[in-house]
Structure 1
Amino acid sequence: MAHILLADDDKATRDLVKRALESDGHKVDLTQDGAEALDRLIAAPEGIDVLVSDVHMPGLDGIDLARRAIETSPRLKLLLMSGFAEELDRAQALKSPNLNVIIKPFTLEQIRSAVRTLIA
C-alpha cells in the first residue's frame, strides 16, 4: 500500500480522510498546512508516494504546495481537494500526469477511489 502525506488545516477533514485511507491499508501522515507538508517532502522525497492536500490553506496553499512538490519529487502522485471550482481550475493548470482533483464535499468512498486511481 501507499505512504500518504495529508495536508489540511481542518482537523475534522484530516481525521476523516485519514480514517478512510487507512481503511484501505495505507500509511497516512498528517500535516496541518502546506509549509509543514513541504518540509516533510523535502526531508524524505522518496518516502512519500502520494500527497493529498486541501487547496485552500493559510500560508502556502495547496496549489503552491503541489507546484513545489512536483519540483522536489516529479514522480509524486498528487490529489488536491477543494470546495471551490475556481481553485480546482488553477490546479488543472499544473498539467501534471500524476495530479487528480476531488471536489468537497466528498464521500469516504470517493476519496478512497481517487487515491486508488492515482496509485493504480
Structure 2
Amino acid sequence: MARILVAEDDPSVRAFVVSALTMKGHEVVAEEDGGLAAETADAENGRFDLMLSDIKMPIMDGIALALHVAAKYPDIIIVLMTGFADQRERAHGLDALIYDVIVKPFTLADLLAKIDDALEGKPVEVVSLGRRALEQ
C-alpha cells in the first residue's frame, strides 16, 4: 500500500481521512497545517507516494504546500481538497502539478476512489484538474 502525507487543519476531517486511509491499508502521516506538512515532507526526504492536502489552512495553505512539494519531490502525487468553490478555482492554475481536487463534503467511498485512482494513475474526469490526466 501507499505512504500518504495528509495536511488538514480541521481535526474531525483529519481524523476521518486518516482513519479511512489507514483502514484501506495505507501508511498515513498527518499534520494540522501546511507548514508542518512541508517540514515533514522535507524531514522524510519526500518519501511519500501521495499527498492529500486541504487548500484553505492557516500558516501555509495547500496551494503553497503543493508548490513546495512539487518543486522538491516531483514524484509525489498531489491531491487537494476543499469545501470552497473559490479555492478550487485557485487550484486551477496548478494543472501540471496536481492530480485532482476533491470537493468537501465527500463520502468515504468518494475519498477512497479518488485516492485509488490517483495511485493507479487513472485519468481524472474531463472537468477535473491534474498532471496525470495531461499525461494520458
Normalised by the size of structure 2, how large is the TM-score?
0.84
Q: Which runs of 5+ in 2 are unaligned?
A: 121-136
Distance 2:60 2:14 in 1: 17
Q: Which runs of 5+ in 1 are unaligned?
A: none
Higher RCO (C-alpha under 8 Å, 6+ residues apart): 1
Offset of residue 98 of structure 1: 4.5
- Matched residue, 2:54: 54
Distance 2:97 2:61 in 1: 20
Question: Does residue 101 of the first structure (1) align with residue 101 of the second (2)?
Answer: yes
Distance 2:85 2:75 in 1: 26
- Matched residue, 2:21: 21
Task: Report if the CA contact (8 A) 1:8-1:32 is conserved.
Answer: yes
Task: Report if the CA contact (8 A) 2:62-2:80 is conserved.
Answer: yes
Task: Report if the CA contact (8 A) 2:66-2:97 is conserved.
Answer: no
Aligned length, in residue pairs: 120
Distance 2:97 2:66 in 1: 13
Offset of residue 45 of structure 1: 3.1
- Structure 2 letter corresponding to 1:101: V
- Matched residue, 1:110: 110
Offset of residue 92 of structure 1: 2.2
Q: Deviations over 1:55-79 (max 9, x none)?
A: 1101100011001110010111011
- Between the aligned residues of both structures, percent identity stands at 37
Normalised by the size of structure 1, how large is the TM-score?
0.95
Task: Report if the CA contact (8 A) 1:51-1:79 is conserved.
Answer: yes
Distance 1:45 1:110 in 2: 29
- Matched residue, 1:81: 81
Q: Between Structure 1 and Structure 2, whose CA radius of gyration is higher?
A: 2
Distance 1:59 1:49 in 2: 24
Distance 2:63 2:56 in 1: 8
Residues 41-50 or 74-83, more deviating: 41-50
